Amino acid sequence: MTTEWAWIWIPATITAAAFQVGRNAIQRGLTEQLGTIGATQVRFLYGFPFAVLFAALALWVTGSQIPLMSWGFAGFIIAGAVSQIAATALMLGAMRKRAFVVVTAWTKTEPIQVALFGLFVLGDHLTWMAMIAIAVATAGVVLMARKPNKTADDSKGGWQPVAMGLLAGGAFAVAAVSFRGAILSLGDGHFLAHASWSLACGLGVQTLLLAGWMSLFDQAGWQRCLKAWRVSIWGGLLGASASQGWFLGFALTAAANVRTLGLVEVLFAQLFTWRVFLTKSSRNETIGMILVVIGVALLLR
């Protein structure tokens, strides 16, 4: 069954990247109102009910039982959950200091780190063509992040948003490999059921962790998070839908392949910026986008 549907990782990943741009935009808008932790919790708190719905539908459609979970599964889920919380908070913190597309680009240095973590932790070997594709696409992303003609806004925050963006990419890499490890640890079964169940468990852990932390240390922020449900619920829906796509990809191929193809998110973010903020692309951004497209084409080939 998995072999027959292996190609699904491609449309699932592209769809996930598109949904993630929308979710990031909503979270970025909520950061000023809710703070970095509050905006991070939106992704998990309001995404969890949708993830549970996705898991229930997946189990019903595939005729699967709830998977048997091991301590290995729990370890991978917790590692992925904590890493993703840290990555999201770092990303949103960086976005408060720098442009939406620039920070998105910095976090997308992730695929190289995913490839290394995946090799050492899960034994996910990649072909030479895949490694070249990762390098080319990542080079394109780094080039897009460079601003040849700096303005006062571009230099705002100095080196801190750069470091935060790169650390976010590393934490996202750990999360991607951990979640793939969780799915694989469930053993034989339908990939849709395993991916959806792992997502629901991951979001459940993340929601509980942040809810506990905010209840103890940021009760005012917790109250603001609950009151902002009208906007937040859309962030939750987009976030859960994006995560569903990522997890389907992790179930079917190496995390490095998924996260490299996921670099199309940078192109979607650029398109979003053109349409919403009415900004034009620089020469570096244009060349970078071409390299991302070439890298993705090499990967798919």
**Mean pLDDT of the region 53-79:** 95
Task: Check pLDDT > 90 for residue 244.
Answer: yes
Least confident of 49-58, 145-154, 161-170, 248-257: 145-154
Task: Check pLDDT > 70 for residue 190.
Answer: yes
Task: Check pLDDT > 60 for residue 296.
Answer: yes
Q: Are 184 and 195 in contact (CB under 8 A)?
A: no
CA-based R_g, the chain, Å: 18
Is 152 exposed, middle or buried, given 0-12, 13-18 or 19+ CB atoms closer than 10 A? exposed
Residue 168: the pLDDT is 87
Residue 13: the pLDDT is 94
Which phi-psi region, left, alpha or beta, contains residue 145 (left: φ > 0; alpha: ψ -120 to 50)?
Answer: alpha
Task: Check pLDDT > 60 for residue 54.
Answer: yes
Q: Which range of residues forms the domain containing residue 272?
A: 6-300
Of the two residues 208 and 295, the one the predictor is more confident about is 208
Residue 184: HSE in the Cβ half-sphere, 13 Å Cα cutoff: 18
The one-letter amino acid code at 154 reads D
Residue 152: the pLDDT is 47
d(CA 110, CA 293): 17
Task: Give Cα 108 distance to the centre of its chain.
Answer: 9
Q: Is residue 59 part of a domain?
A: yes
Long-range CB contacts (within 8 A, 24+) of 160-163: 160/94, 160/97, 161/93, 161/94, 161/97, 161/98, 161/103, 161/106, 162/106
What count of other Cβ atoms lies within 10 Å of the Cβ of residue 297?
Answer: 12
pLDDT classification of 48: cutoffs 50, 70, 90: very high
Q: Mind listing the pLDDT tens digit for each residue in 85-123?
A: 888 788 777 776 666 566 766 776 778 888 888 888 888
Residue 289: the pLDDT is 77
d(CA 222, CA 242): 24
pTM of the model: 0.84
The one-letter amino acid code at 273 reads T
Task: Check pLDDT > 60 for residue 154.
Answer: no
Task: Check pLDDT > 60 for residue 234.
Answer: yes
d(CA 243, CA 203): 9
Q: Is residue 1 part of a domain?
A: no
**Mean pLDDT of the region 13-41:** 85
DSSP letters spanning 1-31: -TTTTGGGHHHHHHHHHHHHHHHHHHHHHHH
Residue 176: the pLDDT is 93
Give the three-class secondary structure for 127.
Answer: coil
Residue 272: the pLDDT is 66
Q: Is residue 58 part of a domain?
A: yes
Question: How many residues does the structure list for the chain?
Answer: 301
**Mean pLDDT of the region 79-85:** 93
Task: Check pLDDT > 60 for residue 278.
Answer: no
DSSP letters spanning 137-206: HHHHHHHHH--SS--TTTTTTTTHHHHHHHHHHHHHHHHHHHHHHHHHHT-SS-HHHHHHHHHHHHHHHH
Percent of the chain with pLDDT strictly greater than 70: 86
Residue 7: the pLDDT is 84
Q: What is the count of structural domains for the chain?
A: 1
Q: Is residue 191 part of a domain?
A: yes
Q: Is residue 186 part of a domain?
A: yes
